[in-house]
Structure 1
């Protein structure tokens, strides 16, 4: 049993019938990569309780695979239940590492116990651009694992140190280059398009309490 008596009481599925007839067959049909993403997403929702119990979580989920193989689609099935109020059909906590870095850092310090996606750390033909992307990726991994503070300017102009409060899922074509960053990643490698059942929807995931 992963969750012990020191943590808050968590009701995963209150309806045993639903668990036996719907969720269990669905889980048994999922590929390993999908189970890893689901497990990390559920863990993100009890992150504070786990930390308060003295269990140190210093890892991010890192999904890798060729471009177009379905990395973002896989993650979307599990985390898209968090939507924007003005655009209910759009996931709220998806960020592009190439253009949404400031927004990603704000989300990391604001949305406690929610999964945040840093999407598509793609390759570049330019060596200089690629090197910069790798540096940014490494820094975000350290910040997400609370191995480095998130710096934010205060209204007075001073720099304030903040900590990540969320759980971050990355997608990329390659794994991080630095070995110390690799040790902070739970790696999920996709070699073929994930075969996901139609019944697996964000609404299904959000139904877990």
Structure 2
């Protein structure tokens, strides 16, 4: 069998209040269908394919909850990528989506500090285009559920706006000022981090896109 990690998802239940389709394998197919509908590029489609691998190893006594499945998904994904020699761009995108998709879905309730930390974990400042693909994969995941196929995904616009606000920070100027004060390394990074939080906070106070469920 080419992908036993996927095969074991069929028949695994999820909470009906979050996943009316219940079966994890059915959800996977719906997410892939959504990625095709939204004309997602290959790395996004691969991320959709493997984002929930950890649900196949959830202890039976925990079902239909899947606490910690993100970390388990990342571990299983690494094995799949090594075995199939998956291209680096597909692998790296899939790892971030597998690890962070739950946080990205919940980000509608995040304040500025949590948003900036999430952007940093997704490496959004160094790779903003890839972050756009991460958001697209998460939209496919959210809409790949029974009854949600045509629903909105406001987290995508909110996170893109938060990134744009944080990117407006003049990091080179902050670094130069910090070094002028004798600071270096992590201390410079702390000042940039704080400035990004302030920028995102101001954007939120000015009225960011409405958060969704």
The normalised TM-score by structure 1 is 0.31
Q: Which has the higher contact order (CA 8 A, sep 6+)?
A: 1
* Structure with greater helix percent: 2
